[in-house]
Amino acid sequence: MTKRRIATIGTLAAMVLAIAWSAWTWWPPILRFRLRQINQRTDRVMLEYLDGKRGLASAAQALADLWKTGMSVGLRLPPVGQTAPLVDPGPGALNERVGDPRLKELVDSAAHLSGAGWTMYRRDST
């Protein structure tokens, strides 16, 4: 191979990578796909915790990481009105377990770990 051919192939490869990265980080259909994947993984983490397959600390950290990633992806979507809105499928597999106090404990721990500013701090009446 000549140097010119190697340079051309290298340039084309760099261009393909740049386009793929741009699509992965900014194209709304792919961002919506990524959010669906994050939501499915979030449900899976919660179910694993409720089924006893995962400890509280591990599940809370995984949930916090998923929430941070989801927030980062969601912020890149165009403003509402310029694209079809995301449909919230509801609790799905967690439907019967929504009232489980362990789920609240998991969500509270994950919210604390994620550093979310939207967490609610309750005051214990003593």
> pLDDT by residue (tens digit) across 30-81?
999 999 999 999 999 999 999 999 999 999 999 999 999 999 998 898 876 6
How far does the chain reach from its first CA to its final CA, in angstroms? 79
Q: Is residue 37 part of a domain?
A: yes
Would residue 4 count as lying in a domain? Answer: no
In a domain, 17, yes or no: no
Q: Is residue 123 part of a domain?
A: no
Q: Is residue 39 one of the residues assigned to a domain?
A: yes
- Among candidate residues 112, 111, 119, the one with its CA nearest the CA of residue 42: 111
Q: Is 122 among the domain residues?
A: no
**Runs of H (alpha helix) within 27-125:** 28-50, 56-74, 101-114
> What is the 8-class DSSP label of residue 121?
P
| Residue 120 counted as domain residue | no
Over residues 16-38, the mean pLDDT reads 93
* Owning domain of residue 78: 28-114
- At 120, the amino acid letter reads M
| 35 Cβ contact partners less than 8 Å away, ≥ 6 residues apart | 70, 73, 74, 86
Question: pLDDT tens, 65-76?
Answer: 999 999 999 889
Return the H-helix or E-strand segment holding 11.
Answer: helix 3-26
Q: In which residue are the tokens 């994620």 written?
A: 114
Q: Over the stretch 72-116, which tens digit does the pLDDT of each residue have?
A: 998 898 876 655 555 555 556 777 888 889 999 999 999 999 886
Block residue for tokens 């591990």: 58
Q: How many domains, the chain?
A: 1
